[in-house]
C-alpha cells in the first residue's frame, strides 16, 4: 500500500484499477477507481506497485503533497495511457521526474 496526501494546496487525483490479467505485454484495460479534487489534509490509500496506477495534477499555484510508500519501488515503472488501453516502461528516475 501507499498513502498519498495533500499537505497544502489542491490537486486533481485519479486512480485506476486494471481489468485485464496482465497476460499481454503493453496492453492495459483500466477503469477509474477514484476521481476527485484533493485539498489541505485530504489523503487516499493506493495499492502497492505495480497496482498503484494514478495521475495527479496540481491545481493551486503552490501545492505540497506527501507520499508514504511501504516498500521500495521497482527500478522499472509502468506509465499508462488509459485512453489508448496501453502502457510503456520507464526507469524509476524518469518516472519520478516532474515537468
The pLDDT, as a whole number, for residue 98 is: 57
Task: Classify strands 43-46 and 2-8 as parallel, antiparallel or unpaired.
Answer: antiparallel
| Residues of the chain with confidence (pLDDT) below 50 | 99
Give the mean pLDDT of the chain.
91
Rounded distance between C-alpha atoms, residue 37 and residue 50, angstroms: 23
Burial classification of residue 11, based on how many CB atoms lie within 10 Å of its CB (0-12 exposed, 13-18 middle, 19 or more buried): buried
- Non-local (6+) Cβ contacts of 80 within 8 A are 16, 28, 30, 53, 86, 87
Amino acid at each position: 500500500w501507499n498513502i498519498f496526501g495533500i499537505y497544502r494546496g489542491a490537486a486533481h487525483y485519479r486512480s485506476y484499477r486494471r481489468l485485464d490479467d496482465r497476460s499481454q505485454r503493453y496492453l492495459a484495460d483500466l477503469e477509474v477507481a477514484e476521481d476527485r479534487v484533493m485539498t489541505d489534509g485530504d489523503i487516499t490509500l493506493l495499492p502497492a506497485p505495480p497496482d498503484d496506477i494514478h495521475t495527479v495534477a496540481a491545481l493551486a499555484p503552490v501545492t505540497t503533497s506527501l507520499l508514504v510508500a511501504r516498500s521500495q519501488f521497482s527500478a522499472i515503472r509502468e506509465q499508462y495511457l488509459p485512453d489508448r488501453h496501453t502502457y510503456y516502461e520507464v526507469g524509476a528516475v524518469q518516472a519520478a521526474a516532474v515537468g
